[in-house]
Amino acid sequence: MAAEIGDDEMVRTLIIDGMDIHVTDDIGRTPLILSVQNGHEDVVQTLVDAGVDIHVTDDIGRTPLILGAQNGHDEVVQTLIDAGVDIHATDDIGRTPLILSAQNGHDEVVKTLIDAGVDINMSDNIGRTPLILSAQNGHDEVVQKLITGGADVGKAMNNVTPLIAAVYNGHTNVVQMLL
């Protein structure tokens, strides 16, 4: 609970008192996962410094990095990258941190992941790329960062390119970027 609500002082006290930093709730969430989901960078750093397993997954295969990226917590994402997480980890359906941050429009997280050297064209289990999803959802700034970072604008999923996804969903700014 202390990790989930961001009470870094209590987390430090619990660690000193011998708290199991790898304990999970009924759906596989650890204190690290809970603090990451809620953007508590100070608690994340405390847990990392205490030797927490940074590669842990919840019951559906989401790593702390995937959850931090999905929720747009850029400082948390950077802390995890600095700690040595796998930037290409996937959840149970093949979604990467970049795919989820792009899909949700988290442009600063996208930039952080690109700067860390992520494979910008990696797709999930059904072929969706970060560029297709961000174009589909009209996330102009993310689309621009992906294009600048070298995303393949012609890579398609079931014959749907980023351009087709943007046109179909009426995102004219994104269409202009992709032409």
CA–CA gap between residue 120 and residue 88 (Å, rounded)? 10
Per-residue confidence (pLDDT) for residue 1, from 0 to 100: 81
- Mean of pLDDT values over 59-74: 96
- Mean of pLDDT values over 7-27: 92
Domain boundaries, the chain: 1-95, 120-179
In the block, tokens 């600048």 appear at 148
- Mean of pLDDT values over 96-121: 98
Model confidence at 164: pLDDT above 90? yes
CATH superfamily name and code, 1-95 = Ankyrin repeat-containing domain (1.25.40.20)
Model confidence at 34: pLDDT above 90? yes
Are 1-95 and 120-179 in the same CATH fold? yes
- Mean of pLDDT values over 3-26: 93
Per-residue confidence (pLDDT) for residue 140, from 0 to 100: 97
Confidence of residue 53 (pLDDT cuts 50, 70, 90): very high
Cα separations (Å) of 95 from 52, 62, 122, 163? 23, 9, 9, 21
- Specify the DSSP class assigned to residue 21: T
- Mean of pLDDT values over 123-150: 97
The predicted model scores a pTM of 0.94
What average pLDDT does the chain have? 96
- Mean of pLDDT values over 41-59: 96
CATH superfamily name and code, 120-179 = Ankyrin repeat-containing domain (1.25.40.20)
Provide φ and ψ at 160, rounded to 5°.
-105, 110
Per-residue confidence (pLDDT) for residue 13, from 0 to 100: 94
- Mean of pLDDT values over 105-124: 98
**Strand pairing partners for 160?**
157
